Structure 1
Amino acid sequence: MYKKRWLCIAAVNRFMKFFRVLRRAVVLLLALSLFGCASAPKPEFNAVDLPVELSESSGLLCMGDEFVSFNDSGGLPVLYRFNAAGQILQQLELSVRNIDWEAITSDGQFLYLADTGNNAGKRTSVLIHKIPLDWRMLKQPYQPVTLEITLPQQGALKAYQHDLDFEALVYQQGALWLISKSWASQQPQRYRLDPSLKFQALGKALPLQAPDFLVTDASFNSSTEQWWLVGYTNPYKAIWAYITNSGFQAQIARYDAQFQLLEVQTLPTQGQVEGLCIDQWQQIWISEEAGKQKPARLIKTGLSSR
């Protein structure tokens, strides 16, 4: 009888000890969960619709709390300045043709507008238009200074199967950097250009660790000395997305000053992302073209470039 009682007491003690351990574990897990949520919130992804005038927004520049964009090939030769709500504040018409405008950057005094798109592979040169940052006193249509960059001769190129298509341009430390989309090799290249020369050859391709997506825009953060590139997975390789028409697989990559790849993230949008800029608060913004059933959008990604 006493033996049975002792065994019963021992069993109860073991159960109570197990219960106390279990309770501590539950409390610890709850605490970790709460602290984890407080210290690492998910980036807030906010989008606003752009007006029909910017239905094919193809590049993006942050200017204070405002933005500059434009449409790509065949669009009006007009730059649009607008706010974070997507409201157009000012327009600047240029007296040049919009062959295939793709990117825009600034040195703090001038804008550099890249007419460098070449999907079909038929261009022998690409253009960069230099425009004053302040439009208020400019007579419209404005005649910009134009830089012409001769492309290397590589024979007949097949559309979407070559590496001489460029959709990213960045001004950094006295130079313009043109980055290829690289349909064929999937290996983007960067080219250093002189913003003071009206005529120059494309020059030597410099190495760039591939982010495994087609680059459609780029930006450089001088405070952190880091590069950011945006784009989407080649739709001819993302077979399921292509077959199901489920949209583009937008991605963003971060590089150090020597263009060593630090990270790649997938963006929570299936739109065709074409523009990227970093505002004065180090926040990253993107723009995307209109789709079949949705307008073009300006998006605050919630990502910080700090």
Structure 2
Amino acid sequence: MRLRAFFFFLVFSSWFGVQESDAASVPKNSRILQVAQFDSKLEESSGLAFYDGFFWTVNDSGNSNAIFKVSKSGKRVHEVKVLNAENIDWESLAQDESHLYVADTGNNLNRRRTFTIYKIPWASLS
């Protein structure tokens, strides 16, 4: 009985203790614009980079080891297969001036013990 009372106390106190934070809020006067709508070939786009006037994205697990170059209007312009790379569960992209990084870090079932970051020169994606 005490355990049940303690549980309800925790739920009740945490419910009233939660405060709304403005840290992650978008200001009310911001204009949110849809800038592109990707075509159906990008079945499960996971990660997005913007470089040299184009979006770059990858599909999530169960898809090929390809990186897609997409126009500002959302049309697929180019598909690049990444040799010597396996798409176990590609999740995100990062970039610097000379490289695109693909994070193969998905772990939906918590079974993976190793993860990979692929470093790809922008010049090789042209």
Does TM-score exceed 0.5, indicating one fold?
Answer: yes
Tell me what 1:181 maps to: none
Tell me what 2:8 maps to: none
SS, match of residue 108 in structure 2: coil
Identity of aligned residues (%): 32
Aligned partners of 1:72 and 1:102 also within 8 Å: yes
2:40 to 43, 47, 52: 52
- Displacement, 1:59? 0.3
Q: Assess, with a 3 A threshold, how the Cα gap between structure 1 residues 118 and 64 changes in structure 2: closer, same or farther.
A: same
Q: Assess, with a 3 A threshold, how the Cα gap between structure 1 residues 101 and 127 changes in structure 2: closer, same or farther.
A: same
- Displacement, 1:42? 4.3
Deviating above 6 A after TM superposition, structure 1's stretches of 4 or more consecutive aligned residues are none
SS, match of residue 135 in structure 1: helix
Q: Distance in 1 between matches of 2:39 and 2:76?
A: 8
SS, match of residue 94 in structure 2: strand
Q: Assess, with a 3 A threshold, how the Cα gap between structure 1 residues 80 and 73 changes in structure 2: closer, same or farther.
A: same
Aligned partners of 1:115 and 1:128 also within 8 Å: yes
Tell me what 1:107 maps to: 96
Q: Distance in 2 between matches of 1:134 and 1:118?
A: 30
Q: Distance in 2 between matches of 1:72 and 1:44?
A: 26
Tell me what 1:97 maps to: 86
- Displacement, 1:136? 5.4
Q: Distance in 2 between matches of 1:113 and 1:46?
A: 25
Q: Distance in 2 between matches of 1:113 and 1:73?
A: 13
Q: Does 1:119 align with 2:108?
A: yes
Aligned partners of 1:92 and 1:135 also within 8 Å: no
2:74 to 83, 86, 107: 86
Q: Distance in 2 between matches of 1:136 and 1:103?
A: 17
From the two aligned structures, give the one with the greater strand fraction. 1
Long gaps (5+) in structure 1: 1-39, 138-306
Tell me what 2:120 maps to: 131
Long gaps (5+) in structure 2: 1-27
Q: Distance in 2 between matches of 1:136 and 1:83?
A: 14
Q: Assess, with a 3 A threshold, how the Cα gap between structure 1 residues 136 and 45 changes in structure 2: closer, same or farther.
A: closer
Q: Assess, with a 3 A threshold, how the Cα gap between structure 1 residues 55 and 136 changes in structure 2: closer, same or farther.
A: closer
Q: Does 1:75 align with 2:75?
A: no
Q: Distance in 2 between matches of 1:71 and 1:120?
A: 18
Q: Distance in 2 between matches of 1:126 and 1:136?
A: 23
- Displacement, 1:107? 2.1
Q: Does 1:63 align with 2:51?
A: yes
Q: Assess, with a 3 A threshold, how the Cα gap between structure 1 residues 64 and 118 changes in structure 2: closer, same or farther.
A: same
Q: Assess, with a 3 A threshold, how the Cα gap between structure 1 residues 56 and 136 changes in structure 2: closer, same or farther.
A: closer
Count matched residues: 98
SS, match of residue 134 in structure 1: helix
| TM value normalised by structure 1 | 0.30
| Aligned residue identity for 2:118 | H
- Displacement, 1:120? 0.6
1:104-183 → structure 2 map (5 Å cutoff): 104-135=93-124
Q: Assess, with a 3 A threshold, how the Cα gap between structure 1 residues 136 and 106 changes in structure 2: closer, same or farther.
A: closer
